[in-house]
A and B are shown apart, each in its own frame.
Chain A
Amino acid sequence: MNGLEIREMRVRFGGLTAVDGVSLTAPGGRITGLIGPNGAGKTTIFNACTGLVRPESGQVRLDGEDLMGLSVPARARRGVGRTFQRMELFDSLTVAENVRLGREAGQAGGNAVRHVVARRSDGEQVRAVTEATLELCDITHIADRTAGALSTGQRRLVELARTLAGRFSMLLLDEPSSGLDRYETERFAEILRRAVADRGLGILLVEHDMSLVMTTCEHIYVVDFGRPIFDGTPIQVQTSEAVRAAYLGSDAA
C-alpha cells in the first residue's frame, strides 16, 4: 500500500484518552485532510506518527512498512516529514541554512562520519535542492535573512520549504495556514498542489481554514474527542450532519 496508513491508533495520557481508535489512509500523490474541533487529538496523531508520542496500541505504516518500533529520526529517514503548529524553525540560522538543513539533516542521519564529512555527491545535491525549493516557495529574496526575524507568513513558508527540501514521501502539515492572510494562504495552497503534482508527494493536512481544506483535499477525515466521526469527499463532509454537530458551538472556522 502506497502512502501513510494508520490503524486503530490509541493514545492515552494518564487517565485521558487523547486518540481513541483512529484509522486513516493518506495515499501518495494526494492531499488528505484531517479536521476536527480544537483538542480533538489531531496534533497527537501527528506526534504518534512521527514518534514523539508513544501510542498505547495501533499501527503506523508507510508504504507498507511498519514504523512503530522506530525512533523519531529513523521514521523521518523512512520518509515521514512534518511541520509544527507552533513552528520549530532554526531561529538563529538564515532562511537558506534552514532549507539546506532540511536535506542535510537526513544525510547526516545517524552516521557520525556524515555529520562531519559530506558525501561528494551531497554538496551538489544540497545546493540544487535548496535553490529549487527556495524558488518553489518564493522565498529566494529572503534567503539570507535570519529566520527568527521574519513575519509569521514568511516563517510558515520557510518551515514548509525546509520539509520540502528533505527526502520525504509523506508530509504531515500541522495547521500550516494559521497566521497567514488570504493571499498568503492561496499561495501556500498553490505550492502544496505543485509539490504533490510534480513529485507524487503525499500530504496529510491538519487545518482550520475550511476553504483551504475543501479546495485542496480529495478525501477528508473528521475526528472529535479523539474518535473518528466521519470521512468522505469535501462535499460529503460539508453536508454531513455528524460533522456539523461536532462543530456546532465550537469553532466552526
Chain B
Amino acid sequence: MSKGNLTRRGVLKTGAVAGAGLALPTYLSAQDSGFTNAPSGATVTLGFNVPQSGPYADEGADELRAYELAVDHLNGTGADNGMLETFKYADGSGTVLKGSGVLGKKVEFVTGDTQTKSDAARASAKSMIEKDGAIMITGGSSSGVAVAVQALCQEAGVIFMAGLTHANDTTGKDKRANGFRHFFNSYMSGAALAPILAAQYGSDRKAYHLTADYNWGYTTEEAIRSSTEAMGWETVGTVLTPLTQTDFSSYITPVLQSDADVLVLNHYGGNMVNSLTNAVQFGLRDRMVNGKKFEIVVPLYSELMARGAGSNIAGILGSQNWDWKLENQLGAKYSGTNAFVQSFGTKYGFPPSQAAHTCYVQTLLYADAVERAGSFAPCAVVDALEGFSFDGMGNGPTLYRGEDHQCFKDVIVVRGKENPENEFDLVEIVEVTPVEQVTYAPDHPQFAGGALGSCNNGA
C-alpha cells in the first residue's frame, strides 16, 4: 500500500539521520584546542549575563555599564585606563595587562538577560556558550542565579566569575572549581556587623528577624544570628516573609507586640525598600523598648536600595562590599577606588554602585589571570586565580582563596545619612572591619557540605 511505503521511508530516513547524529559525536566532539570555545581568531568573546528585567534590573543595568567600561579598558579604547593603573600584585609590581586586549586578542562581549530566574539565566548562558562561543560567563544579581549558572559553567567547561551574590552557598555548599566570587558573603556581613552593633547599641539587645523566604535569606539570618548571639544578643523571633511580598504591615505588627528592641531585615532589593518603609511608617524608629531606643539593621546594603527607600534609611546600619567614597575618606589603602569612580563617572555621569564595582573587578581579574597563565584554558585560569593576592582594586589587599574561590578583603559598615546632599551620596562609612575579623576556615559549619571538584576544560 502506498501509505505504508511512504511511512517506512520516513522511518528509515529518520532512523538513518538520528543514528548518524548519535554515532558521529563520539569521534568528532573533541576539538583540537582541548577546551571549550577556544578562541581561534583575533577576538575573544566574554558573556555578560545580567538581569535586564525583573526585580534587580537596576543592578543589572549598572553591572552592564561596568562590564562595558572594563572591556574599554582591556582593549585600550576608553578615555583612560581605570584600575589598570592601580592594579598591583602582592610583590608590588603592576598588572601584566597593558590595555591591548587579552593575550593579544581584542575583547568582545555578548549580553543576556537572566530575568533573575535560574532557568532563564541558564538558557541565556547556554546560548552564549553554544551559539556565541563565550569563553567566560560573568554577572548576575542573585545567589540562586549565581549558583545555577556556576554549575552550568562547570559542566560546560568555561570560567564563571560571579557578580553580585551574597549567600554563603555560592562559595559554600554549592561551590565549583570553575567558579569564582569577588563579592563578600553573609558570614562576612555578620562578622563585620556584630562588633559594631554591640558597640553602638550595647550587648544586651533582643533581636527580631524578618527574613526573605529563600536561600540568601536563610544564610544571612543564620550568619547574623550566630554573630550577634556570640556578642550577647538574644534572638526573640524569626519570621520568614515571601519573596513576592510588597506590604509588610502584617509582619511588623507582631514586632510591636514582642519585647524586641532591634529589628533585623534580612531583605534585599524591593523587599528591603518595602519592609523598611513599612517599619518606619509604624513608628518603630521612635519607639523605646526596655528603656532603649528601638533600632533597625539591614545586613546587606546597596546604594540602589538606599535610593529606593529614600529618607527611611537615615541612621540605619548595614554592610557593604565597597563604596565609591572609600579612598577619599579612608586613604590610599583603598587605591583603585578613585580611578574606577573617575572613569565610570566620565563615561556615565554618576558614581558606580558596589554591583558595578565587583563586576568590573571580576572582569579585570579574569583577564589578568589569562594573561599570567598565558592561556584561555579554564584549568590554567583556575590555577592562576587560586591563592592569588592583589591590591589596588578598591578593597585594599585581597586574597582569592584556593580552597573555596572566595575573595577575602575588608568589609565596610555603613549607615544611612541623616541629611544626604544628593541622590548618590546616601550612606556614610561608619567603620571598616579588617579582613582578619571576617576570615573563616574553609570548613566552617555555615559553608559545609560542598566540594569544589576539579576544574573542567570541557570538550
Partners in one complex: no
Q: Which residues of A contact B (CB under 8 A)?
A: none
Q: Which residues of B contact A (CB under 8 A)?
A: none
